[in-house]
Structure 1
């Protein structure tokens, strides 16, 4: 089973059904992700254009991730991380950002980074905890630590 299928299986086991986006919402999501230079063949692009990824039951202690729709939640977070936290433009903050940190998606290589304020240099050095792909992150995110 490939990583995409594993993530879909984990999403199907959520307490509340994960909603697939209707075509007009898919197009809106694509436009937002393309605006931020997310690659169309990336796991991030594929999952976010297929599903509403919000309010997911996830690993205890994990930050809540947000969906590009509605844009009033997603776009301001991304811009805030760039403008206030000084995060390079190749990263997208896709979690709430509460607690002065969150999950950053790297549009250049499909990796996800666990960032906290004050760790800009570690992010630049590549020494922060991270997942090598968005699918790897989602598998971790949606798996209970007891079952991991």
Structure 2
């Protein structure tokens, strides 16, 4: 049996784009944990049994929407605090890229997201922290790129 090919946290990146043409993406400093959640909106309907209408219906589900949530946390870094605050204050969604870099391929989602929440915290004698949540605004386009030898 072969072991799974895994990646470390540094190969799981959340990058914020600027307003240059072409967009330049950079990972804000300070994240120590990040996650993405892929959501599928579903609509439910009861599907009857045509031969026995008295049977309990099974629930059928139809996909109605897709979305992505990105969450991250880490230290409140001076190098990235302005990036986060400007993105939060923007009335427009911002360009975001999420990358999973495996040894043989990189999976990338690119699209627009809104900063939904920024939460900063601090305890006496400890470093200040920052938690960020972003929500997709439209399609997050997924591309898988094989590593070329």
- Shorter-chain TM-score: which interval? under 0.3
The answer to which structure has the higher helix fraction is 1
The answer to which structure has the higher strand fraction is 2
Bigger CA radius of gyration? 2
- TM-score, normalised to structure 1's length? 0.23
